[in-house]
Amino acid sequence: MIQQITKYFADNDVFNDTLNAIGTKTTSYLPVIFQWIGVGLGISIVLWAIISFFRYKWATEEKKPAVIKSIKHSLVAILAIFVIASLAGLIIGGSINVGKSIGDSIKIKPS
């Protein structure tokens, strides 16, 4: 299917580059994608910390325990997202290197 679409848009470099990125060269774009995901997570965590600080500061005394509980729950969710993102980065980024090193150590060339 990609070959048929490429025939129709053979002159269009942007289209061909997009097809190559999606079809064959996706792994070279993964580090950039994960880098921007990390930047977005970092910015969102800073904003979350600022909002949480002011939520606690402006809460009335009877609502402060509920605010603390809410902040703890969102902190656990953020940590879970970081764990999942870290594991995904290790699996995707490390699987290529680990596969090559294992293949080299047992004298099998990866295809």
Confirm whether 5 is domain-assigned.
no
Instruction: For residue 95, tell me if it sits in a domain.
Output: yes
Residue 13 lies in a domain: no
Residue 74 within a domain: yes
Q: How much is the pLDDT for 70? A: 94
User: Total domain count for the chain?
Assistant: 1
* 11 in a structural domain: no
- Residue 14: what pLDDT? 60
- Over residues 20-66, the pLDDT tens digits come to 555 554 455 666 677 777 788 889 889 999 999 999 999 999 999 99
For the chain, what percent of residues have pLDDT higher than 90?
30
pLDDT over threshold 60, residue 96? no
Q: Is residue 17 part of a domain?
A: no
Range of the domain at 66: 30-105
Mention every residue, 6+ apart, whose C-beta is less than 8 A from residue 88: 34
Distance CA 29, CA 36 (A): 11
Domain presence at residue 24: no
In angstroms, rounded to a whole number, what is the distance separating the alpha carbons of residues 26 and 80? 26
Alpha carbons 67 and 73: distance in angstroms, whole number: 10
